[in-house]
Amino acid sequence: MRRSVGLLGMKRIGLIGGISWESTSSYYTLLNTMTAKQFGAWKQPALLIDSLDFSEIVAYQQKGDWTTLGEILADAARRLESGGATVLAIGANTMHKNFDDVAKAVSIPVVDIRDALAREVKALGASSMALLGTKYVMETDFFSSHLERAGVKVVKPVAGQIDILQSIIFDELTQGIVSDASRRAFLEIADDCRTRGGDVVGLCCTEFGLLINEGNAPWPFVDSTVAHVKALLDH
């Protein structure tokens, strides 16, 4: 199959989105604003999005059925490749649990958000990171072990804090709700992880950028979505 080349001579990015739509919206905004900043006004990346039904994703996550989730993401990846994508990304931290399923389903490169995070942490001169995300990211090791193999030590929240972050993500952020109370709770959890050795704070849920940004963060941080988009554009 002949692969079409995107605008500016760039590759055509394929994004597995809808996990959630707020996350995908952030990806779309960042991909376009960062391209325009680098190349000038009106420049936009060549982009395809396969937007999934998040309610279906959440249901399988709650059942712990990662096999079916892998099949869903692999199908989306194949659709994007067939549509002309020359590089892929999974637009969610949690769904990188199925990264290998996606990578095996296509013949084009898949940019890993964990690698992007590790590079940005090291670029800040740090060697450890507070890992804040969904309970699936924090309670299992598919994310933390990948970072530690890349040379980044990981500090995780404790059990009660994990429950708070999970509630903030699914009860609020993925439904478009952003509250000051949740921002305060997030800051407190991040501060605790910092006292336990996290040099920088990792926003390892793509919706956390709705809560924390350059204007209100009291500590150095890496936003996984920004890091992932930068890696995609560099690719």
| Residue extents of the structural domains in the chain | 7-112+230-234, 113-224
Cα distances (Å, whole numbers) of residue 152 to 112, 148, 176, 178: 15, 5, 31, 30
Q: What is the CATH number that goes with domain 7-112+230-234? A: 3.40.50.1860
User: pLDDT tens digits for 60-114?
Assistant: 999 999 999 999 999 999 999 999 999 999 999 999 999 999 999 999 999 999 9
Nearest to 163 by CA among 127, 205, 135: 135
The answer to whether 235 and 50 are in contact (CB under 8 A) is no
Cα distances (Å, whole numbers) of residue 27 to 47, 135, 227: 11, 22, 11
Instruction: Band the pLDDT of 143: cuts 50, 70, 90.
Output: very high
CA–CA separation, 68 and 66 (whole Å): 5
Instruction: Band the pLDDT of 176: cuts 50, 70, 90.
Output: confident
User: pLDDT tens digits for 27-51?
Assistant: 999 999 999 998 889 899 999 999 9
Q: What is the mean pLDDT of residues 187-210?
A: 94
Q: What is the largest CA-CA distance in the chain?
A: 53
- What pLDDT score does 8 carry? 45
Q: What is the pTM of this model?
A: 0.91
Q: Average model confidence (pLDDT) for the chain? A: 93
Q: What is the CATH number that goes with domain 113-224? A: 3.40.50.1860
- What pLDDT score does 92 carry? 96
Nearest to 38 by CA among 234, 227, 228, 226: 234
Specify the DSSP element, H or E, that contains 100.
helix 99-105
Cα distances (Å, whole numbers) of residue 181 to 20, 26, 176, 184: 22, 22, 15, 5
Same topology, domains 7-112+230-234 and 113-224? Answer is yes
Q: What is the mean pLDDT of residues 213-227?
A: 93
Q: What is the mean pLDDT of residues 208-213?
A: 91
What is the three-class DSSP state of 218? Answer: coil
- What pLDDT score does 148 carry? 96
What is the three-class DSSP state of 96? Answer: helix
